[in-house]
Amino acid sequence: MVRVRFAPSPTGNLHIGGGRTALFNWLYAQAKDGKFILRIEDTDKLRSKQEYVDEILNSLQWMGFNWDEIYYQSHRFNIYAEFAQKLLKEGKAYTEKSPERQGEAIIFKVMPQQVKINDLIRGEIEFNAELIKDQVLIKSDGTPTYNFACVVDDATTDITHVIRGDDHISNTPKQALLYEALGFKLPKFAHLPLIMGIEGGRLSKRTGATAISDYRKMGYLPGALVNYLLLLSWAPGNNCELIDINEAIKLFDLSDVNKAAATFDLKKLNWLNNQYLKNEDSDKLTDEIIPMLIEKNYIRKDNFDRNYIVSLVKLFQPRMSVVNDFPDWADFFFVDELNIDPAAAEKYLNKDLSREFKLLLERLKVLQSFDIVSIEESFRGLVSELGIEAKALIHPLRVALTGKTIGPGLFEAMYYLGSERICKRLGKFIR
């Protein structure tokens, strides 16, 4: 039975790299019908915070990675101490007290030898243990070090595959030596390439958002983000890019993972997000959008027409890049005082349109049915009567009604705006 784990440290938010490591672990567990285990590495009492634990767990759930078991290292200090004592008794470790510190540290003796690791992604990697210093197991304050706790936990929770970032390669020989000393069976290792920022080096806050929750806040869909992360160092084949996670589960294998580091490209994420947005259920999307509208005071919490908002969401859905585009783009459906873009006004409303607007309003007033087709028909009738091009009036009309030069189709926008608001907004341009 395959048992993999994701072991975040709650000293910060779950970042893109961690999310990707979680994804590959979770995915491998699903592909092999195994278990996905979560381990919170909270040995550092000062830096670990409950709010980060919550944040990490939330982000994982948001991405759809549910865990089968969860452990906290802070609950397992006695286990580490026990194994450290064992090594001490067997003469594989020694104690040391330094003048600057109070307690006594337990330190592992590293014997000179060649250590070979067989990595599922990279093949064989060889290290010379002569270059590795003796390793602290238990610090003088009684807490375990990362490498020691990691080995004890992985071994005692029966982890079969350690799938983690590239940056852990050099920890692997140290850990392998500990496995041997403790008489544990070595798990299989798979080291994932790192995700880099555009400017090279690790993804950092300077080059953009790093936390998974940031992307959630910015309006990315979890499916799109997961799909994007998946494409970083893995490809389903057949030139496929848009892939459902269930489809990926069927196709995924660790041996197909790339070795080279990948650069995080927001533009491609945006494209993917738009693809997902287009296919997203409008009702679900509306559920996410409603709180944003409430927050902006566009609608009142207990008094709004949900169906109306769903219709508006459908209008913008194909053109949104992130969910957060909606409140900005659709503001003209919610505000009383229209905010007109000055540049747009300068371009399209710089001449007197009283006559055209007045004639249009007259025609709209007598419409038997105020529907999209009728609105367009009456508009087309007017422009042909006036002998002008449709777009000569469409653009000014759009700006007068929406305040923008961009947006959904004009007649649809007019329909959802309703005759009352159209009247009011055009009235301001009629002398």
Residues 261-290 that bind RNA (CB under 7 A): 261-263, 265, 267-268, 270-271, 274-275, 278
Nearest-approach distance from CB 259 to RNA, in angstroms: 3
Stretch that binds RNA, among 25-33, 64-72, 97-105, 244-252 (CB under 7 A): 97-105
Instruction: Pick the closer one to RNA by CB: 63 or 136.
Output: 136
Total site size for RNA, rule CB under 7 A: 80
Going by C-alpha positions, the residue among 336, 364, 352, 347 that lies closest to residue 398 is 347
* Six token digits for residue 25: 């672990």
Q: How many CB atoms lie within 10 A of CB 70?
A: 12
DSSP state of 366: T
**Residue with smaller CB distance to RNA, 301 or 342:** 342
Cα–Cα–Cα angle for 60, 61, 63, rounded to 5 degrees: 70
Structure tokens at 365: 């007033």
Name the strand (E) or helix (H) holding 36. Answer: strand 35-40
Q: What x/- string results for residues 161 through 200 when contact with RNA is judged by CB under 7 A? A: -----xxxxxx---------------------xx-x---x
Could you say which residues in the range 105-164 bind RNA, by CB under 7 A?
A: 105, 122-123, 125-128, 131, 133, 136, 139-141, 143, 145-147
Q: Where in 63-142 does DSSP place strands (E)?
A: 69-72, 93-96, 105-108, 114-119, 123-128, 135-138
> Could you tell me which stretch among 49-57, 93-101, 211-219, 295-303 binds RNA (CB under 7 A)?
93-101
24-83 residues near RNA, rule: CB under 7 A: 41, 43-44, 47, 73
231 binds RNA (CB under 7 A): yes
Nearest-approach distance from CB 283 to RNA, in angstroms: 20
Which lies closer to RNA via its Cβ, residue 36 or residue 52? 52
Identity of the residue, 310 or 372, whose beta carbon is nearer to RNA in the bound complex:
372
Residues pairing with 93 in the sheet: 108
Structure tokens at 198: 């555009």
- Which contacts (CB < 8 Å, 24+ apart) does range 117-120 have? 117/172, 117/173, 117/176, 117/189, 118/188, 118/189, 119/169, 119/189, 119/190, 119/191, 120/161, 120/188, 120/189, 120/190, 120/254, 120/255
156, burial (CB in 10 Å: exposed 0-12, middle 13-18, buried 19+): middle
Applying the rule CB under 7 A, the residues between 379 and 418 that interact with RNA are 390-391, 394-395, 398, 405-412
CB nearer to RNA: give 218 or 306.
218
Q: Does 421 bind RNA (CB under 7 A)?
A: no
Nearest to RNA of 170, 306 (CB atom): 170
7 backbone dihedrals φ, ψ, rounded to 5°: -125, 75
Binding mask 307-336 for RNA (x = CB under 7 A): -----------xx-x---------------
